[in-house]
Structure 1
C-alpha cells in the first residue's frame, strides 16, 4: 500500500462522503502530503500501514520547530486524525496511531471587524469615474450587505439573484444552498452595475451568468478580491488586518449589535452549527466590557 494511492482515496472520501468544500479538501490533502514527504525522507519510506504514534509525534514536533503557527499545527493534527480515521473505517488499518495526538491549545480568536465609519471611508476611496471602480464598489457592497464568503462572491450567478423578492441564492460550503436577503439599496447597486458597467465589458461565453468578471471576461480570483480590498483599505488609512472575510465578520457583528437574533445570523452566514456563530457574542461582550469600563460611574476616577 503506497501513500499516493491512499491519499487519492482519502481525497475522494472527503469529497464524496464527507462533502468537504474544495478549499478544505485541498488543505487536508496538502497536509497529508507533507506527512508523506516526511515518511519518505526521514522514515525510510514507511507506509501509512506501518507508521506509528511516535512517528507522528516526531513529525508534529519537527513542524513546531519551524515556527509554524499554532493554528496551522492544529489543522495539521486535524488532517492527520481524519486520514487515519478513514484508514481504520476502510479496514486498511486495525489501529489508529493518531488517536492520542494532541494539538496546541488555541485561545478564542476574535475576528477583526470594521466599524460602519471604516466601511464608508473605504467605499468612498473608490474611483467611480471608471468601470473598474464601479465593479469594485459593487463587490464591497455585496460583501458587506450579504455577508458572503469570498468564494461565494466570485461564484455568484446573476440567475441566482431575485430582484423582485430581494434575495440571493448562495451555494456555500459543502454545496449547501441558502437564501440571503438583499437590501433594496444593494439591489439597485447590482442592477446599475449589470446594466451600466458589466454590459460594456468583455464577457466570456462560459461566464455569461457570473456576476463579477475580470478584464478578460472570466470570473475573478480570490487573490484579486483580496488585493482590491487591501489597496482600498490602505488608501482609506484603515490600519487593521483586512481581508474579504472582514466584511463578512462586520456584517454579522453589526447585525448582532442592532438586535438581530443569533439564529437568523447563523442562517444568513450559512453556519451549520450555532457554535460557530456564537463567536460574535464574544465580540459583543468585549464591546459591553469597554462600555462599562469607560462609562460606569464606579470606574470614573
Structure 2
C-alpha cells in the first residue's frame, strides 16, 4: 500500500499483515463508498470535509483510543500550554520501527520502510533495540 508523506512530499510503500487484506479490500470496494460516497478516491480514508483524513484527525483518533484503553498518560505541556500525550501516531511509528529492529531488520530496509533519507536517523532505532538486548542479557543472562 502506498502512503503519502507530507514531510518529504512523496509516497512510500508500507506493508500490512495478510490478516488485514480482506478487511482492507472490503473497505476499498464497498465500505468507504457507502459511508462517504468516495468510490473513486485514491485515499484510504476520505472524509466528507475534504479529500482525505487530516493529520490532526489521526492524532485525535490515536490519542483518544489510547485514553479509552487506559494506556494514555500526559507527561507535560508544550510552550503554548497544551498537554503532551505519551501515545501519539509518532509513538506508534517509533514502536513499529524499534520492533522491526529488535526482530533483526537490517538498517537499509528499515530506512526505506520508514522513509528516512539519512541512515543515521534509522540508526537511532537500531541503537534502542541494541540497548534492549543488553538489558535483556543482564536480566536473563548468567549471574555472578
- Shorter-normalised TM range: 0.7 to 0.9
One of 141, 158, 179 as aligned partner of 2:13: 179
Determine if the alignment matches structure 1 residue 214 to structure 2 residue 47: yes
CA deviations on 1:277-300 (whole Å, 9 max, x unpaired) are: 00112211221232133223336x
For 2:113 and 2:121, how far apart are their aligned partners in 1? 13
SS at match of 2:12: strand
Q: Hey, which of these two has a bigger chunk of strand by percent? A: 2
What is the Cα deviation at residue 217 of structure 1? 6.1
SS at match of 1:208: coil
For 1:297 and 1:288, how far apart are their aligned partners in 2? 14
Report the counterpart of residue 57 of structure 2 in structure 1.
Answer: 224
One of 276, 280, 284 as aligned partner of 2:129: 284
- How has the CA–CA distance of structure 1 residues 178 and 224 changed in structure 2, closer, same or farther, with 3 Å as cutoff? closer
CA deviations on 1:166-210 (whole Å, 9 max, x unpaired) are: xx23443433443334432233221122234212113369x8222
- Conservation of the 8 A alpha-carbon contact between 2:100 and 2:110: yes
- Conservation of the 8 A alpha-carbon contact between 1:230 and 1:242: yes
- How has the CA–CA distance of structure 1 residues 200 and 245 changed in structure 2, closer, same or farther, with 3 Å as cutoff? same
Which structure 2 segments of 5+ residues have no match? Answer: 74-85
- Conservation of the 8 A alpha-carbon contact between 1:225 and 1:244: yes
Which structure 1 segments of 5+ residues have no match? Answer: 1-167
- How has the CA–CA distance of structure 1 residues 279 and 262 changed in structure 2, closer, same or farther, with 3 Å as cutoff? same
CA deviations on 1:63-109 (whole Å, 9 max, x unpaired) are: xxxxxxxxxxxxxxxxxxxxxxxxxxxxxxxxxxxxxxxxxxxxxxx
SS at match of 2:143: helix
- How has the CA–CA distance of structure 1 residues 255 and 294 changed in structure 2, closer, same or farther, with 3 Å as cutoff? same
SS at match of 1:260: coil
Higher Cα Rg, which structure: 1
Higher relative contact order (CA 8 A, sep 6+): 1
TM normalised by structure 2 equals: 0.74
For 1:194 and 1:171, how far apart are their aligned partners in 2? 17
Report the counterpart of residue 297 of structure 1 in structure 2.
Answer: 142
For 1:237 and 1:181, how far apart are their aligned partners in 2? 28
For 1:182 and 1:234, how far apart are their aligned partners in 2? 25
CA deviations on 1:27-52 (whole Å, 9 max, x unpaired) are: xxxxxxxxxxxxxxxxxxxxxxxxxx
> How many pairs align?
131
Report the counterpart of residue 261 of structure 1 in structure 2.
Answer: 106
TM normalised by structure 1 equals: 0.39
